[in-house]
Structure 1
Amino acid sequence: MSHALHSADLNVLNAQTKLPLVAGLAVKLAVRVTTWETRRKTRRSLKELEPHTLHDIGLDRLSAQAEATKPFWQD
C-alpha cells in the first residue's frame, strides 16, 4: 500500500491559507519533498522501460534518457 499523496491532495494542502506560520511552512516543505521523491522514483523507472512501452506513452529513447538524467529538483 502506498502512503504517497496524489497531486490533487498536495495542491489542496499547499493552498491552505489559514494555517499558522510554522504549520504552513511544514506543509510547504512536505509538499516539496513529496514532489521531489515522486520525480526521483518516476525518473528511475523511466530508465528501465522497454522501447515498446516508451512508444505507448509517446516517448522515444532519447527523450526518456534526457528526462531520466535530470536531477530530482529540476522540473
Structure 2
Amino acid sequence: MNMHKVALQSFHLPKALRAPAPGLLRQAWHKLQRWNELARQRRQLAALGDDMLKDIGRSRADIEWEANRPFWDDPDRQ
C-alpha cells in the first residue's frame, strides 16, 4: 500500500481533501485568481475621482468601505 492511501486511512481526512491533487491545485489556483481580481477591482474603485463616483452613484465613503475590505472577503462566496 502506498503512503498516500495509508495517510488517507489513518487520519480520516474530509472528503474535499481526499480529492486528487490536481483538483485541489485547480481549486486553489481559481481561489487565488478570484482574490487577485477582487483586490484589483477594489484598487481601481479607490482610484476613481469624485466626478466618476458621482456618475456611478457612489459616495467616497462607500468606496472607502469597499476598498478597505480584505481581499478574501468575497461577496459572491464562490
Q: CA RMSD in A?
A: 1.4
Unaligned runs of 5+ in 2: 1-18
Determine helix, strand or coil for the equivalent of 1:56. Answer: helix
Aligned residues: 56
**Separation in structure 2 between the aligned mates of residue 50 and residue 72 of structure 1, nearest angstrom:** 22
TM-score, scaled relative to structure 1: 0.66
TM-score, scaled relative to structure 2: 0.64
**Separation in structure 1 between the aligned mates of residue 33 and residue 56 of structure 2, nearest angstrom:** 24
The Cα shift of 1:54 comes to 1.4
* Cα deviation code 1:18-61 (max 9, x no counterpart): xx711111110011000110111111111110112112223211
Q: Out of 30-39 and 49-58, give the one that drifted further.
A: 49-58
Report the equivalent of 2:16: none
Unaligned runs of 5+ in 1: 1-19
Larger radius of gyration: 2
Identity of aligned residues (%): 32
